[in-house]
Copies of this chain bind each other. A is one copy, B any other.
Amino acid sequence: MALVVQKYGGTSVGDPERIRNVARRAARYRAEGNDVLVVVSAMSGATNGLIALAHQITDLPDEREMDVLLATGEQVTIALLAMTLLSLGVPAVSMTGAQVRILTDSAFTRARISDIDTAGIRAALSQGKIVVVAGFQGVDAEGNITTLGRGGSDTSAVAVAAALNADVCEIYTDVDGVYTTDPNVCDRARKLDRISYDEMLELASVGAKVLQIRSVEFAKKYRVPIHVRSSFSEVEGTWVVEEEGNMEQVVVSGVAYDRNEAKVTVRGVPDRPGIAARIFGALSEKNIVVDVIVQDVGEGDRASMTFTVPKTDLKKALSVIEPVARELGGAEVRSDTGIGKVSIVGVGMRSHAGVAAKMFDVLSREGINILMISTSEIKVSCVIEEKYLELAVRVLHDAFGLSKEEG
């Protein structure tokens, strides 16, 4: 008998008929002798509807009250799913984050889980009940309702699975697994059977949107096997697991891309210590996340600094950088939104030389100019002109042997 945690996203519980399908699947797992705990998101559209309501009131809603508001979305789903199970004659009980006592810090709208009380869950499971837990939400030490940020239900599910020492955390979604790249861009993309936590982290952080990054970090830390699969079929999906010996034989596991970044160049800054700290300190104060950073040695005593920020933060970033540039003696600030980032990811890079060089070669043969380069132990990213982004994904996918046989 296994303990299975299943997580269903908003589209999987988007209407009563889909909730019924979720209930049937959970009931079947239970009938097969498993203990079953289900974590659910808000019904698709519900969270956006609540946000729109808040924005009719004020542009900057208080974050504590925003969490009180948003937490109702998942509370609706747990009630509907539990009453569906009960109407099918399956013992079940719903629990909000506060009722489970999913303890978080008090960083409203982006709280982090610190502890999960499993006593109530275990008691209900031991009575043979399917436990239906609200994802995305928790409670702080003072009893305030908190939420975990976009995609937080993944993290709820993995955290609950970790706390219960569950055998598997199944993440049901509207795709049937993790692919070598985006099938919309490259029709020869293949579904991966297995992928390591580290590879998944790099793929997620460069734009693959299947799993929230924090949930993968959690899974890695507590060694929770994740099974990403479709809620609309019975097909095996992708297992996200600890790195295994034979994984290194594959040099590159996936090609990811990201078109949500913009490039900012600060030219003619004095080439002396402390300048980078000034620029990036000013950005971080405004909570702007800087991704790739490149510093060129320029002519004489002047250098230039290039970096990327989310397109949505570009305006704010420029308003922060321009005064700093003026103080630095007339440094010039330029920005470019016509860029994209393409990345290859694979634990095999650790033991294979020349992977980056091959990537640069493949891109150059297509006449694609590389604007910026960034590397980690298991990832190489290139910033290129956006118009070449999809081409770059396809040629790299082919060049690193990821494409399925032409059918």
Question: Considering only CB atoms, which chain B residue lies closest to A19 in the complex?
Answer: B57
A66 vs B80: C-alpha distance when bound (angstroms): 8
What distance in Å separates the Cβ of A116 from its nearest Cβ neighbour in chain B? 16
The range of chain A's interface size is: 35 or more
Closest 4 CB pairs of A and B: A69-B79, A58-B87, A72-B72, A68-B79
Beta-carbon contact of A62 and B80 below 8 Å: no
Interface residue? A324 (CB, 8 A): no
Tell me if A99 is interfacial: C-beta within 8 Å of chain B. Answer: yes
Contact yes or no, A57 B20, CB < 8 A: yes
Contact A80 B69 (CB under 8 A): yes
Contacts of A53 in B (CB 8 A): 16, 76, 80
Identical chains in the assembly: 2
| Interface of chain A: mostly helix, strand, loop or mixed | helix
Q: Which residues of B contact A61 (CB under 8 A)?
A: 83, 87
Interface residues of A (CB under 8 A from B): 16, 19-20, 50, 53-54, 56-58, 60-62, 64-66, 68-69, 71-72, 75-76, 78-80, 82-84, 86-87, 93-94, 96, 98-99, 143-145
For residue A82, which residue of chain B has the nearest CB?
Answer: B65
A356 CA / B61 CA spacing, docked (Å):
59
A57: chain B residues within 8 A (beta carbon): 16, 19-20, 80, 83-84, 87
Nearest chain B residue, comparing its CB with the CB of A101:
B143
- 6 more A-B contacts (CB under 8 A) besides A19-B57, A98-B98? A50-B76, A54-B83, A62-B86, A68-B78, A69-B75, A72-B79
A24 to chain B, nearest CB (A): 13
